[in-house]
Amino acid sequence: MNFNKKFTLVALLAAGALTLTGAAHAGALEQFKTFVASTHAARGEFSQQQMKKSDTKAATGKAAQVSTGTFVFARPGKFIWTYLKPYEQLLQADGEQLYIFDKDLNQVTVKKLGSVLGSSPAAILFGSNDLDKNFTLSEAGSRGGLEWLNAKPKAKDSTFEQISIGLRNGTPEAMELHDAFGSTSVISFKKFEKNPPLSAQQFKFVMPKGADVFNN
């Protein structure tokens, strides 16, 4: 290898190392805005733990119950959020309507998506790119190996006081949902795949046979 080729290769490797280092150390706000701009769809798995101020392991003698499941979304407003354990429940949106299906009760609740998305936690991942319209975003420092971002809903009637997002290398790995009643939901993501091939048809909800339907 001649000097010029060797120098070019070293320069490219160095540039790549700098890019990776920059991405790893970018602040949460920068990482999140890049994620929103570049990720129009995703899928993966999640675990969710609901906790209250009094729900500590020391106080109750046991850890709070953990729910697990899968998710898939395509912006704006199309998603399938499936709880598999300990109980099966489906939240599915086709861009216009939100369907909440309780399998045990064979019951479906239908809501207009626009009335529930707004400044909800779902808007963070599944909504449009115009997050500044509904949230005040700010850096929240490093914690647990993640860079954290706080999103405070601008709507006064929001049931959530603050939503925190933890990112690593430009990908959300955790969310903390702090509601107005003192409870916190902690969501962890894994196997987060960005921009997989998806079709609009797969977000079309199929009404279960014999289900009771409630329109809100």
Domain chopping of the chain, boundaries: 25-215
Per the CATH hierarchy, to which homologous superfamily does domain 25-215 belong? Lipoprotein localisation LolA/LolB/LppX (2.50.20.10)
Predicted confidence at residue 117, as pLDDT, reads 77
Q: Which of 158, 186, 188, 187 is CA-nearest to residue 55?
A: 186
Task: Decide which of 33 and 47 is more confident.
Answer: 47
Indicate the pLDDT class of residue 119, thresholds 50, 70 and 90: low
How confident is the prediction for the chain on average, in pLDDT? Answer: 82
Question: What radius of gyration do the chain's Cα atoms show?
Answer: 20
Mean pLDDT value across residues 12-30: 50
Indicate the pLDDT class of residue 80, thresholds 50, 70 and 90: very high
pTM for the model stands at 0.79
Mean pLDDT value across residues 108-135: 81
CA 153/CA 158 separation, integer angstroms: 7
Contacts of 205 (CB under 8 A, 6+ apart): 92, 94, 97, 99
Predicted confidence at residue 53, as pLDDT, reads 61
Indicate the pLDDT class of residue 14, thresholds 50, 70 and 90: very low
Degrees, nearest 5: CA angle 32-34-40 = 95
Percentage above 90 pLDDT, the chain: 59
**CA atoms within 13 A of residue 144's CA, in its CB half-sphere:** 9
Predicted confidence at residue 59, as pLDDT, reads 41
| pLDDT tens column, 32-45 | 989 999 999 999 99
Predicted confidence at residue 205, as pLDDT, reads 97
